[in-house]
Amino acid sequence: MWFERTVKDAIKSAVKSRPVLLVTGARQTGKSSLLQYMFDSLEYITLDNIQYAAQAKDNPEYFLNSLKQPVILDEIQYAPELFR
């Protein structure tokens, strides 16, 4: 069962004019599911995957450049180096 979220329209609008969108909120509320639902054709990378997290931490510029963009990056708190 899927529940429509009111934030969906704001996200659609924001991605049209911004190169990066950060979605934050309480744990286990469906942020990742919402983005995967809305943008199902995009690659989804989660830094829960230790290998991805290590790549992002060790060489953030290479990691970002190696991704087919646009992309959904999840659990980015595991690689704060991406925010430099």
DSSP 8-state secondary structure symbol assigned to residue 41: T
Distance between CA atoms of 68 and 43, rounded to whole angstroms? 7
pLDDT at 42 over 90: yes
pTM of the model: 0.88
The type of residue at 79 is: A
Write down the pLDDT at residue 10. 95
Q: What integer is the mean pLDDT of 32-39?
A: 96
| Cβ atoms within 10 Å of 84's Cβ, excluding its own | 6
Residue span of the structural domain in which 71 resides: 41-84
Q: What integer is the mean pLDDT of 67-77?
A: 95
Confirm if 34 and 9 have CB atoms less than 8 A apart: no
User: Count of domains in the chain?
Assistant: 1
Write down the pLDDT at residue 74. 97
pLDDT at 5 over 90: no
Is 2 among the domain residues? Answer: no
Distance between CA atoms of 71 and 30, rounded to whole angstroms? 18
End-to-end C-alpha distance for the chain, whole angstroms = 39
pLDDT at 60 over 90: yes
Is 61 among the domain residues? Answer: yes
